[in-house]
Amino acid sequence: MTLSIHSAGREFAGEVRDIDLRRPMSQADVAAIEAGMDCYAVLIFRDQPISDDQQMTFTKNFGRIENAQGGTITKDDEYRLKDGMIDVSNLDKNGQPLDRNDRRRMFNLGNRLWHSDSSYRAVPAKYSLLSGRVVAAQGGNTEFADMRAAYDALEPQMRAVVEDLICEHSLIYSRGSMGFTELTEAERAMFKPVRQRLVRTHPVTGRKSLFLSSHIGAIVGWPIPEARDLIRDLIEHATQREFVYAHTWRQHDLVIWDNRQTMHRVRRFDESQPRDMRRTTVAGDRMTVEQTAAGQ
């Protein structure tokens, strides 16, 4: 049977049916999913009880798995999952929910801010694939916002303002905006800001989108408060309900999103209960703008 893609209630979210992600993909399947991603930007696969290895094998159909280093304060010996898997759960190495004041939990709360995965890397991510192994009984939705539609809806004057702007992205900024500022020197060095264009063009469809993220803390050449005011304004614009799809997780859902065309955030849930979500990330293949010699 060939896979089929159906609208999932918002024009940029599709549901893929008639596919088993545990099995090897044909070239035609991979091409159909890529084409679906270019068209929709978020794809949902229901009832996919996959293992970590199966998730990584499936992910590699779309490119190289991104190196996770530099994206977390969790130390190597605290890590719960194998190399290549990103732990987006609320669990420690022993499968227990993290304590309220655990530094890792406080850092991870940054995922509740609208963001694009790895926008703080010089080469930002292509796709993220998130598998719901144990989902929250209530809450814990992941919301997605369509940055193409947000760009298209800008007033012409605002388009002219944003067109050539370069932003600085860092985990220091997103965590700092939540009051989490206690970073070590090594962490600060690891989270050194990178530059990204504010308006980017999709390499396949040629559509423009706003490359927004809570990791943005500055705009090159702008006073900081003015930059943050504009970014807040744009994020508010881009996350109006008409641009947002809220995904209510069922166990064994797998959701893929294109970080080049969307932002996302997770919503509140009962953190005394396990929520085991596992991500793989497909690395991007280009910078949106050259970095300076200093890496900024």
Return residues touching Fe ion (CB under 5 A).
Answer: 117
CB of 109 to Fe ion, least distance (A): 12
Does residue 13 come out as left (phi exceeding 0), alpha (psi in the -120 to 50 range) or beta?
beta
Q: Smallest gap, in angstroms, from Cβ of residue 199 to Fe ion?
A: 21
Q: Which is nearer to Fe ion, 125 or 234 (CB)?
A: 125
Shortest Cβ 257–Fe ion spacing (Å): 9
Per DSSP, 97 falls in state B
| Complex with Fe ion: residue 19 or 41, whichever CB lies closer | 41
**Complex with Fe ion: residue 22 or 84, whichever CB lies closer:** 84
* Tokens 């905006």, residue located: 177
SS3 38: helix
Least CB distance to Fe ion at residue 221 (A): 28
* Minimum distance of Fe ion from residue 117's CB (angstroms): 4
Tell me if residue 283 falls in helix, strand or coil: coil
The answer to whether 25 touches 3, Cβ cutoff 8 Å, is no
Considering the complex, state which of residue 29 and residue 117 has its C-beta at the smaller distance from Fe ion.
117
Q: Considering beta carbons, is residue 118 or 288 the nearer one to Fe ion?
A: 118
Tell me how far apart the alpha carbons of residues 137 and 135 are, in angstroms, rounded to a whole number. 6
User: Which element (helix H / strand E) includes 144?
Assistant: strand 142-146
Contact 66, 270 (CB under 8 A): no
In the complex, which residue's CB is closest to Fe ion?
A: 117
